Chains A and B, each alone.
Chain A
């Protein structure tokens, strides 16, 4: 009889070494493979690429517990702090302001990117125009109805024409999981700046770092020029 522990071929060792080699190759080419999958997913009517990890789709990141859906009729956006005319906007009031449509990529700081996402809503600068920041205001703090997530922008950044108080995504109202009914969309920055479940904008005299910045991410989160990353810009 064969000695089970000594004779035979060491297949187990070969399987392990083979897996390590595959993983090494995977780490080396994974970045290219991920963008290739993203490209294919763009033109994939079957949706099968959605089953492959990492390719061109949103991942849901929620930092708080489950967030109850806010009915549109109950929604309020409070704008206060260093402003001449503090205001509260209902969903209808936001919808009555001039609407802006942006089609841009979404880039997450962890690497995933979703190409050509269509966003609709009110330019943040249009809202600022309504409330008139005081001379003392230099920054904005954003609050979320999840009670934890906060974000910030400088007043100069907030005047850009690619930052939206967004109510629509891909032509549809933003769903709760995506931060609806109203979220921020900061096109030129990593997606953590695009705060979900936006319910408060406070004008401040200094930048107040937000949730992710307290965890070590950059405050000025320009895509491709921050967080040690060199992704293609999303402007």
Chain B
């Protein structure tokens, strides 16, 4: 199924153009931030390229711009807001997914987004706010007492480490799922992929492929098995 192009009528819309634009622009800015951070922070890389003032300037501006795609999506895209609500809320099956993920099994039951994607998106939002605020504190440090400035450095550094770890996980998951990637490129996925990876996706039922009852039974079985 993966890689085949279905006619639009048979495929399922997963992301709107606005959402894909958000993902792309946010990803490019985050990539620029991580790359410049690496050259500012990792000693061998710093020694290799130098040019701190330029790198710091790029890092600062990319950081300032980072919330803009996010805010644009919040204010301009009702489909994004709907997906954000889905990402915010854990359903009972998400706990099953999490327990299985602890055993490195990411095939647990999932709605439009699995529990890992939900945690990741919450992490990205939290990290963006924390990095934005501490980044501003580091850039406009003059009015701040020393220990606050050192504290902001500490938090900015630790969260940067967490972002790299989560980012590697994010790319690893995408690497292993070509149709998830093409879903973000084109906006559409096949109902077969959706039924396999996201069987509890509410909009899947409308295609007649998501057998809600069957899956509900599966979830309660998972529950029993896991307890």
A64 partner residues in chain B, CB cutoff 8 A: 50-51
Q: Smallest CB–CB gap between B40 and chain A, Å?
A: 9
Q: Smallest CB–CB gap between B140 and chain A, Å?
A: 12
Contact A1 B146 (CB under 8 A): no
Contact A26 B155 (CB under 8 A): yes
B65 within 8 A of A: no
Query: What 0/1 pattern do residues 114 to 137 of B give for CB contact below 8 A with A?
Result: 000011011101110110011001
**Contacting residue for A11 out of B49, B90, B129, CB 8 A:** B90
Contact B47 A62 (CB under 8 A): yes
Q: Which residues of B contact A (CB under 8 A)?
A: 41, 43, 46-53, 82, 85-92, 94, 111-112, 118-119, 121-123, 125-127, 129-130, 133-134, 137, 142, 146-155, 157-161, 200-202, 205, 212, 216
Residue of B nearest to A8 (CB): B89
Residue of A nearest to B201 (CB): A4
- At the interface with chain B, which of A53-61, A78-86, A156-164? A53-61
Q: How far is B49's CA from A177's CA once the two chains are assembled, in angstroms? A: 11
B142 partner residues in chain A, CB cutoff 8 A: 228
Contact A12 B87 (CB under 8 A): yes
Q: How far is B151's CA from A5's CA once the two chains are assembled, in angstroms? A: 37
B216 partner residues in chain A, CB cutoff 8 A: 1
A15 partner residues in chain B, CB cutoff 8 A: 119, 122-123, 126
Contact A3 B47 (CB under 8 A): no
Q: How far is B184's CA from A23's CA once the two chains are assembled, in angstroms? A: 31
Q: How far is B148's CA from A102's CA once the two chains are assembled, in angstroms? A: 31
Contact B89 A10 (CB under 8 A): yes
B157 partner residues in chain A, CB cutoff 8 A: 53-54
Residue of B nearest to A19 (CB): B126
Contact B50 A66 (CB under 8 A): yes
Known A4-B91, A53-B160; judge A60-B43 contact (CB<8 A). Answer: yes
Q: Smallest CB–CB gap between B198 and chain A, Å?
A: 10
Which secondary structure dominates chain B's binding surface? helix
Contact A30 B86 (CB under 8 A): no
Known A4-B202, A11-B118; judge A62-B126 contact (CB<8 A). Answer: no
B201 partner residues in chain A, CB cutoff 8 A: 4
Q: Smallest CB–CB gap between A148 and chain B, Å?
A: 9
A117 within 8 A of B: no
Interfacial residues of chain A within 173-219, with CB under 8 A of chain B in the complex: 176-177, 215
Contact A61 B88 (CB under 8 A): no
Contact A9 B155 (CB under 8 A): no
Count, chain A residues at interface, CB 8 A: 51
Contact B86 A27 (CB under 8 A): no
Q: Smallest CB–CB gap between A185 and chain B, Å?
A: 19
Contact A26 B158 (CB under 8 A): yes
List of 8 A-B pairs having minimum Cβ-Cβ separation, nearest first: A30-B154, A30-B151, A53-B157, A19-B126, A62-B50, A31-B147, A12-B88, A15-B122
A23 partner residues in chain B, CB cutoff 8 A: 130, 133-134, 155, 159
A74 within 8 A of B: no
Contact A5 B86 (CB under 8 A): yes
Q: Smallest CB–CB gap between A65 and chain B, Å?
A: 5
Query: What 0/1 pattern do residues 211 to 235 of A give for CB contact below 8 A with B?
Result: 0000100000000000011110000
Known A4-B86, A19-B123, A19-B126; judge A66-B153 contact (CB<8 A). Answer: no
A11 partner residues in chain B, CB cutoff 8 A: 88-90, 94, 118-119, 122
Residue of B nearest to A23 (CB): B130
Residue of A nearest to B153 (CB): A111
**Contacting residue for A177 out of B41, B43, B126, B130, CB 8 A:** B43
A6 within 8 A of B: yes
Residue of B nearest to A58 (CB): B43
**Contacting residue for A30 out of B153, B161, B205, CB 8 A:** B153
Residue of A nearest to B203 (CB): A4
B123 partner residues in chain A, CB cutoff 8 A: 15, 19
A129 within 8 A of B: no
Q: Smallest CB–CB gap between A20 and chain B, Å?
A: 6
Contact A16 B126 (CB under 8 A): yes
Q: Smallest CB–CB gap between A43 and chain B, Å?
A: 21
**Contacting residue for A27 out of B49, B125, B148, CB 8 A:** B148
Interfacial residues of chain A within 28-43, with CB under 8 A of chain B in the complex: 28-34
Contact B146 A31 (CB under 8 A): yes
